[in-house]
Homo-oligomer: A and B are copies of this chain.
Amino acid sequence: MNTTDSIKGAPLPSIRRLPQYLQLLRQMQTKGRIAVSCTHLADDLGFTSTQVRKDLAVTGIIGKPKVGYITEELIASIENFLGWNNYSDAFLVGVGNMGNALLGYDDFRLHGLNIVAAFDANPEKIGKNVHNCEIFALDKMYELAERMHIQIGILTVPAAAAQSVASEMVLAGIRAIWNFSPIALEVPDSIIVENVRLYSSLAVLTSRLANTNK
C-alpha cells in the first residue's frame, strides 16, 4: 500500500506537482484569467508542456485545442482529485517543535486540511491552546476521533514514541497518517502512511554538496 508509486494509475511525481499548479492557477484566477494554456503553465513552472498536459490529465481533465483549460474548471478538477474541494478534519499528535510549527500554518485549509485538535503526553501542555487549537490528553483521542469522524492523523511525536502512537491512531479509527517522525511505521495494509522524511531530504542536499566539493 505504502510502497506503490502510483494511485489508480496516476504517477506519484505528477500528484506531487499538482499543488504547484493549483497555487499558480489560484493566483491567475485572482487576476481574472479565465483560460490558460499548457504552454503558459509550463513556462511559469519550468516544466515542458507535454509534462503539464500529462500531469493535469491525471485529474481527468482534457484541455481544449486553441483554448487550453478554463481556469475555474481546472482548479476544480485538481481540487477534486486531491480531495481538497472540502477540507478534511485532522488530529495532530505531539505538540513539540514540529507540531507547534504545523499548528501555526495558516494555509493548510487551502490545501484541504483542518487541524481540529492536538494531543500530547505531557500533562503540562494539556488544556492549553496553541495557535487556537486545544491540546488534549492522548487518551482522549479514541473518544474524540470516533465522535468527530476523524480520518487523518498527523504524527509529530519523537522517534521513540512514534510506533506506539501510530498504533493508537489506528485503534482510534484513523485511516491516513502523515508521519513526520523518522520511523518506518508498522501499520495494517489498509492504513495510508505518507512519510515526511526531513533527513532523507537533507541527505540529498549534503551528498550533492559533498560531491561537488570533492
Is A16 a contact partner of B209 (Cβ separation < 8 A)?
no
- Cβ-closest chain B residue relative to A208: B192
Q: Are A196 and B201 in contact (CB under 8 A)?
A: yes
State the copy count for this chain: 2
* Contact, CB under 8 Å: B194 / A19: no
Does A164 belong to the interface (CB within 8 Å)?
Answer: no
Pick the residue among B111, B182, B209 that contacts A202 (CB under 8 A). Answer: B111
Known contacts A19-B182, A100-B97, A100-B101; is A88 also within 8 Å of B209 by CB?
yes
Interface residues on chain A, number (Cβ under 8 Å): 59
A98 within 8 A of B: yes
Give the nearest-CB partner of A16 in chain B.
Answer: B200
Q: A203: CB under 8 A from chain B?
A: yes
Which residues of A174-197 are within 8 A (CB) of B?
Answer: 175-176, 178, 182, 184, 186, 192, 194-197
Residue interface bits A135-178, CB-to-B below 8 A is 1, else 0:
00000000000000001100000000000000000000001101
- The contact sample of 30 A-B pairs, CB cut-off 8 A, is A15-B204, A15-B207, A16-B197, A16-B203, A16-B204, A18-B203, A19-B200, A19-B202, A20-B200, A46-B186, A81-B210, A82-B206, A82-B207, A83-B209, A83-B210, A84-B206, A88-B209, A97-B101, A97-B105, A98-B101, A111-B202, A112-B206, A113-B206, A152-B209, A176-B209, A178-B205, A192-B209, A194-B204, A196-B198, A196-B201
Extra contacts besides A16-B204, A19-B200, A112-B202 (6): CB < 8 Å: A46-B186, A83-B207, A111-B203, A113-B202, A178-B205, A196-B201
Residues of A whose CB lies within 8 Å of any CB of B are: 7-8, 10, 12, 15-20, 23, 45-46, 81-84, 88, 96-98, 100-102, 104-105, 108, 111-113, 151-152, 175-176, 178, 182, 184, 186, 192, 194-213
